[in-house]
Amino acid sequence: MEVPLMVRLTTLAAALLLVLSACSSAPAATGGQITVSLSDHTVQLLQTSVPSGPVTITVKNIGSVVHNLVVLRTNLDHDMIPHDARDQAKADERGKVGGTTEQLKAGQSVQITLVLSAGKYVLICNELAHYQIGMHAPLTVN
Ligand SMILES: [Cu+2]
């Protein structure tokens, strides 16, 4: 009688261990999430503020031409970013903390993760003249 009981206890312990290890291997808190939709003349954010730390940004091109996303850390208002000194058709990317690495084609979406500290940010599309036609939006990181 004692041996089967030991077996049962061992099995129970093993099961508990499995449950515990399953818990510890579950994804940790995923951090902030935002979704950015790039239309042909706007940058739309589903969330306008996000906690500091890792922030996963889902970027969707819902427009009809190529777009990109550049994340700037700046205290300037989102519609007050100066143009690039060497190219008036582009916005100055000073304060850039990240962005998409390639142009997004119409209908394409990508996810990027940035580690953002608390502060004010501006999300823009910096394809030629896209900033000027209104592709910018503010983001606050708390
Ligand atoms: Cu654009």
Q: How far is the CA of 19 from the centre of ligand 1 (A)?
A: 47
- CA angle in degrees (0–180, nearest 5) for 44-88-130: 20
pLDDT digits (tens, 9 = 90+) for 53-112: 999 999 999 999 999 999 999 999 999 999 999 999 999 999 999 999 999 999 999 999
Model pTM above 0.85: no
The answer to whether residue 24 is domain-embedded is: no
pLDDT value of position 3:
55
The answer to whether residue 78 is domain-embedded is: yes
| Number of structural domains in the chain | 1
The answer to whether residue 42 is domain-embedded is: yes
The answer to whether residue 1 is domain-embedded is: no
The answer to whether residue 104 is domain-embedded is: yes
Cβ within 8 Å of residue 85, ≥6 positions away: 92
Q: Which domain holds residue 83?
A: 32-141
Q: How far is the CA of 18 from the centre of ligand 1 (A)?
A: 49
Q: How far is the CA of 16 from the centre of ligand 1 (A)?
A: 52
**What is the phi/psi pair of residue 137, to 5°?**
-155, 150
